[in-house]
Structure 1
């Protein structure tokens, strides 16, 4: 170790290292053009991410995505005198077990009446897909699996996913069926009891696109796990002369980013039963789509920017959780809400857009860079989820807070949420009772 090194040798090592680094960067610019060498370069470049994931496994909780927040006590706060008869399905981090679980929480008293913690690793062991988008064994372990937008079923069980296969479990967490693939974001029930789920192909078969390209689709299925239809987002855009919206932009592996499929509740002057409202985040685009004919009946981009969660308010109005991004297209890591998020209301009858809760969003500083939900509730109330900052609340039409729930541990470290779902005490009565009464070994 103490042997002298000639200066020329040191210079040669530095020069060769610089050339190797430049060559490595050149290969990474277009890895698909370099075959096995390109694949190896991608593997090497991903080492820091792999190390980061391994370190993340050791953390006691997953903090918000780089955002400062006010440390607050976790749990449910209720405004005195207001009684909510409903429930929420909320994904929380169980610090004792070191994993994410789903809780069915009763809002009138804050009691957890059912807790779901399936052995998701054992369920995923049945999966056969391989993808550069997700590695189930690495990314979706029992510790890291964060059930997103869980759906309560009539037997008290759930359907869950997390950029992973779609899985139905019973009230005790035992699997009933699994649809292999990459399911993400929303899962919604139509008026006929069938379901609509967002998914991505493990790898696109379209020419000229990279292995990490997000080829999005809408899946129609039954509650028993039978697939009724698969609809490609790219194909439906192309068929309706909207393909230019993503094809004319600089290349991106995620140009569309499907995040919500909302079935309309029935016939109305602007839609028919079976139609879907579809949100495409990275196009800041909403669609009214008719699967029976393949026709886009209506589309609009802006004033919402990188929106989430489109919902039906009545027979002529919809609401949109608008993340309200201010960002540079080529530097998405700099994305930031322009002030706060917004809940916008679009009126099909007039074409007008309003923001009825604008003052409340400012006063409460509702500010999640990604995700976010605004769910219409009975009586004109709205349940708003500030996903990254772990806060969900019920707002009255005048903007007052009827209750709020914060996901945090005893040290007031706040956790992300995963699209909390409001459970109606009448519409979901059978599922609630089954969940409450289930006896598990």
Structure 2
């Protein structure tokens, strides 16, 4: 028979038993086996939902709750912080993609006179960089590593939408849609402060706030960038509501104007387009602002084409009067990248996304549509090429029609950038991938034409950086 657990058993050959220390788990086992009063169990079960509701209420109104609100936001961000710790900074594509080596491949019989401004993730540096690439041979003529830390250090806003130092550090900032100015400097953001850096990456200025998606320069030099209020202005919404606005910024870094999308729709009698739908945290998703550089048949110099992805809406907007002159929802679905082709036509990169599934997906392939405001007709000149090359980025994406009938297409999520003829022939191809041929997302490349962008290209090439 076993002796009491507080004593050792007798050794073979006799001898008396001696006291010993309790078994290591004895005290812990007794603690676990203690009876729990029913009232304490019921109370605990009642307190869990009360605590959850209370925390949720504080999070929704965190900006009015002082230190308690900031603590609630920090607690709510714990899962995201843990995810970042294990995920790593590289923007790897999570789906299936053809195994291809990273870098530039050129069709030998074609010479592209242009340049591309790209911001791929560099595995060696462990962060994204901006590269000026010559498209006649794929050579990188200049590389900029912007001082993101300097911009983030100047940021003071707090938001339930993002934590700048955690989510948009130098390693995680994707340097979206870099804009190259005439002196070789760059304007950059990534749902983060808007910042201008010289050609060597030194911070020139930054504007605090959440700037996202496209960056374009208008005919008067103003920068037009989608903006999202860190704390929503729309009454009665949750703290993480995406309250989008059209931001006008001077090249010197002065915020000239913010024009809320909700108010633009309201004063133009179009609030029903989003208020007539179930509540969404992201009802508008302003992803492109394209300024008119000259007068057209339906617009004036300085007017803006706005792309609201989550309404599948393109609108022609006159910021000087606050009026929407024209708008259309469809035939595009969850589109990106509006371009003005001439005095009456625009192009639209149509993601052609189906949303009525547990996981949204592309309906076969993306489309690059041409819409004629004079006739109301839409065409798809690159349909064959997009289908043949299986271009299918679920979100984001860029489509730039080129003078000879080709188009530069960015399949953002899959990290593929191509110059493609309408029949699908590829003039050149750039793949963003690591040494194991794992694809990494691109961040909205820009085609540069020496005829219009020559001074900016030359200033970048001539920059002397230590």
1:9 aligned to 30, 36, 41, which one?
Answer: 36
CA, structure 1 residues 260+350, in 2 after alignment: closer, same or farther (shift >3 Å)?
same
- How many residues are treated as equivalent by the alignment? 435
Normalising by structure 1, what TM-score?
A: 0.92
Deviations 1:51-72 (A, max 9, x none): 0012233x6x3311x3222221
Whether contact under 8 Å (2:150, 2:203) holds in the other structure is: no
Which position in structure 1 is the counterpart of 2:436?
411
Counterpart pick for 2:395 among 361, 370, 375: 370
Unaligned runs of 5+ in 2: 1-24
Partner of 1:423: 448
Q: Please give the alpha-carbon distance, in whole angstroms, between the structure 1 residues aligned to 2:430 and 2:379.
A: 27
CA distance in 2, matches of 1:33, 1:232: 21
In our comparison, the structure showing a higher alpha carbon Rg is 2
1:375-404 per-position Cα deviation (integer Å, ceiling 9, x unaligned): 122222211100000001111233321111
Q: TM-score, normalised by structure 2?
A: 0.87
Paired position in structure 1 for 2:18 = none
**Structure with a larger share of its residues in strand:** 1
Tell me, in whole angstroms, the C-alpha distance in 2 between the residues paired with 1:167 and 1:41.
Answer: 30
Could you tell me whether the CA contact under 8 Å between 2:384 and 2:423 is conserved in 1? no
CA contact (8 A) 2:59 2:73 kept: no
- Gap change, CA 1:162 and 1:10, over 3 Å in 2: farther
After TM superposition, the structure 1 = structure 2 runs for residues 132-281 of structure 1, keeping only pairs within 5 Å, are 132-281=160-309
CA distance in 2, matches of 1:180, 1:109: 39
Q: Residues 61 and 239 of structure 2 are in contact (CA less than 8 Å); yes or no, is this contact kept in structure 1?
A: no
The equivalent of 2:135 in structure 1 is 107
Partners of 1:379 and 1:125 in 2: CA distance: 45
What secondary structure does 1:238 align onto?
A: helix
Structure 1 residue 155, shift from structure 2 partner: 1.4
SS class of match (1:427): helix
Cα distance in structure 1, aligned partners of 2:238 and 2:215:
27
Question: SS of 1:334's equivalent?
Answer: coil
Instruction: Check conservation: 1:24, 1:41, Cα contact below 8 A.
Output: no
- Please identify, of 4-13 and 243-252, the stretch whose mean Cα deviation from structure 2 is larger: 4-13
SS, match of residue 428 in structure 1: helix
2:133 and 2:428 map into 1 onto residues whose CA distance is 13
1:62 equivalenced with 2:91 (yes/no): yes
CA RMSD of aligned residues (A): 2.3
- Any unmatched runs of 5+ in structure 1? none
Shift of 1:206: 2.9
How far is the alpha carbon of 1:266 from its aligned partner?
Answer: 1.1
Question: Could you say what secondary structure the match of 2:273 adopts?
Answer: helix
Shift of 1:359: 2.0
In the TM superposition, what is the alpha-carbon distance from 1:102 to its structure 2 partner?
Answer: 0.8
Q: In the alignment, is the contact (CA less than 8 A) between 2:73 and 2:160 conserved in 1?
A: no
- For 1:69 and 1:17, how far apart are their aligned partners in 2? 49
Q: CA 1:237/1:105 → structure 2, altered by over 3 Å: closer, same or farther?
A: same
What is the match of residue 326 of structure 1?
Answer: 354
Give the equivalent residue in structure 1 for 2:321: 293
**CA positional deviation for 1:299:** 0.8
